[in-house]
Amino acid sequence: MQKGILGLSDPPEVASRTQEWHGSLTTFSIVAYCQQTGELGIAASTAIPAVGAINPFAKAYVGAIATQAWSNPYLGIDGLNLLEKGLSPAEVLKQLLRVDASREKRQLSIVDANGNVAAFTGKEVEPISGHYEGKGYVVAGNLLVNQETIRTMAEAFKRTPGSLGERLLVALETGQTVGGDRRGKVSAALLIVRDEEYPYIDLRVDEHKQPVAELRRIFNIYSALPYLDDLHPKRTWPKVKR
């Protein structure tokens, strides 16, 4: 597994272009696998509304995918299907990009249910951009304030104890504090799957002045519910006898 920050660039014109609008979607994210629980998850934030509707894709026992820059949800959908067929993240990435005419505008992060990862940052993705592949996780970003955003998110995830949701949120909060999206802050999302066909956690802040902080507030309230497990029915629960 190759580790390190790839594709980072910091052109001199960044400062003069900070206020410009770009069609690129989703700025910084992290996808990860929890070895202790088997959970798979994604946390993301960007400067456009509703990042949770187009960036994160995950399926229990299969994998998690973040599709960003010029985001294409079908890369997430098709990628999960390929993972479920037994392809590795690297094989999935190769197959997705091979048929994508706009691949150089894409940014993809993939982790499977064994913690294997793969990532891609296209040559035409807006700077500052890049990704970091760690053990069981990938951090990626584009249109960033600085290169440190990716590095510090990875470090925060590695050193943070607790649940996968907590670790993902700390990484996202760290990225926002250090730099984040150079266009501003609008939306954030947290998606986690565990052992059912629907998400274990699916929290979204679709439009807010402080989306990451608001996501944290919602996560803390949700996590503190005393009946949280009762909110997650299981197919194995007893059925009505006929």
- ∠ at Cα 193 (190, 198), nearest 5°? 105
Q: Whose CA is closest to 63, among 91, 96, 39? A: 39
Q: Give me the pLDDT at residue 3, please.
A: 44
Is 151 within 8 Å of 132 (Cβ atoms)?
yes
Q: Give me the pLDDT at residue 11, please.
A: 35
Domains of the chain by range and CATH? 5-10+20-221 (3.60.20.10)
Q: How far is CA 215 from CA 48, 142, 209, 221, in A?
A: 15, 21, 11, 10
At 221, is the pLDDT very low, low, confident or very high (cuts 50, 70, 90)? very high
At 6, is the pLDDT very low, low, confident or very high (cuts 50, 70, 90)? very low
Query: Mean pLDDT, to the nearest integer, of 67-75?
Result: 94
Structure confidence by residue, pLDDT tens digits, 149-174? 999 999 999 999 999 999 999 999 99
Structure confidence by residue, pLDDT tens digits, 9-49? 333 333 333 333 344 565 899 999 999 999 999 999 999 99
CA distance 8 to 232: 41
One-letter amino acid for residue 33 of the chain: Y
Q: Whose CA is closest to 163, among 28, 30, 29, 39? A: 39
Q: Give me the pLDDT at residue 138, please.
A: 98
Is the backbone peptide bond immediately before 77 cis, with ω within 30 degrees of 0? no
Q: Which long-range contacts (CB under 8 A, 24 or more apart) does 99-102 make?
A: 100/72, 100/75, 102/70, 102/72
At 240, is the pLDDT very low, low, confident or very high (cuts 50, 70, 90)? low
Q: How far is CA 178 from CA 71, 154, 182, 235, in A?
A: 24, 12, 11, 43
Three-state secondary-structure class, residue 184: coil
What is the token pair recorded at 178?
């250090």
Is 26 within 8 Å of 179 (Cβ atoms)?
no
* Residue 230 CA, distance from chain mean position: 27
Q: Is the pLDDT of residue 76 over 60?
A: yes
**What integer best gives the mean pLDDT of the chain?**
88
**What DSSP element (H or E) covers 139?**
strand 137-141
Could you tell me which residues come within 8 angstroms of residue 161 by beta carbon, excluding any fewer than 6 positions away?
A: 167
CA distance 64 to 187: 20
Structure confidence by residue, pLDDT tens digits, 172-182? 999 999 887 77
CA distance 242 to 233: 20
CA distance 136 to 114: 8
- Per mean pLDDT, which range of 109-113, 163-167, 209-213, 235-239 is the poorest? 235-239
232 or 85: whose pLDDT is higher?
Answer: 85
Structure confidence by residue, pLDDT tens digits, 80-97? 999 999 999 999 999 999
pTM of the full predicted structure?
Answer: 0.87
